[in-house]
Structures are given as structure tokens and as C-alpha cells.
Amino acid sequence: MLDKLSPPRLFSWTQSVVLLVIIAVLALGLDYRQRNEAGNLVGVDEEMLQTEVDLELTRQVELQATLDYVQSDDYVAAYARDEGGFLLPGEKRVVPLVIEATSQPAPSVLTATPDPAQFAQPWQAWWQLLTDAPPPSR
């Protein structure tokens, strides 16, 4: 008689265990997906950083070559000769002369070209736009 008074169970013991297993699998699946996406993003950033490092290494080599040249005697001699105006014994300075050309006076009478739109008819403009050809002669 007591069995008849107790409310009916919503889930059995096995259904409850199966439901808990499904929930656990879904939670683990979502966690795996999030970790996978985070791992992919790390790879993208790593490639970008490696590209920047390679670029900066190339720049470092260029700057080191420039530093070596600037500290050399060849640079000092070139700078003294080009910028400072110093000459070695036996050298002669060559200074190019700039010859300015005199400009020709402009003609005083300018002839105006006739404006073709002044004598054009509206149909000629439409003809030109539609056919892309000159209007027929009359």
C-alpha cells in the first residue's frame, strides 16, 4: 500500500547515469574545442613574430654593415672630400658651372581656338554618347 502513495519517479537510476555521462561528454567536448582554438591562435602569433624577428635580423645586419663603413678610413676620406671640401695633395677641385638658359619672350598675340560646344546641337551630344561616333554630316 505504501508503494501506491509514493510519487512516480521521473528518471530511473540508469537514465540518471546516462544523462550525467552525456553532460560530462558535452562539457569535455566544449573544453577541447576552446583549447584547440587557443592553440591555433598561438601558432598564428608565432608565425607573425618569427617574420618580425627575421626582418629585424636583416635590419641588424644592414646597420652593422653601415656602422663598419662609417668607422672606416674610406668613409672619413669620402666625407672630407665631398662634404668638407678637403683635397689630397695632387688633387684638383672640379666645380661644374651652371649655365642658365635665357627664356624666349612669349608671343604677344594669342589666337583663341573656337569652342565646338558653342555651335553644337543637343542631338549631336546625345548621338556622341549613344553611338560613340561622330554625328553624321548633313
- Whether this model's pTM surpasses 0.85: no
Q: Tell me: the pLDDT tens digits for 62-95? A: 999 999 999 999 998 888 888 888 888 888 888 7
Enumerate the domain spans of the chain: 13-73
Q: Tell me: the pLDDT tens digits for 6-43? A: 666 777 889 889 999 999 999 999 999 999 988 887 77
| Model confidence band, residue 1 (pLDDT cutoffs 50, 70, 90) | very low
Q: What is the dihedral of CA 120, 123, 128, 133, to 10 degrees?
A: -100
Cell (9 digits) for 90: 695632387
Q: Half-sphere exposure (CA, 13 Å, Cβ side) for 132?
A: 0
- CA 128 vs. chain centroid, Å, equals 42
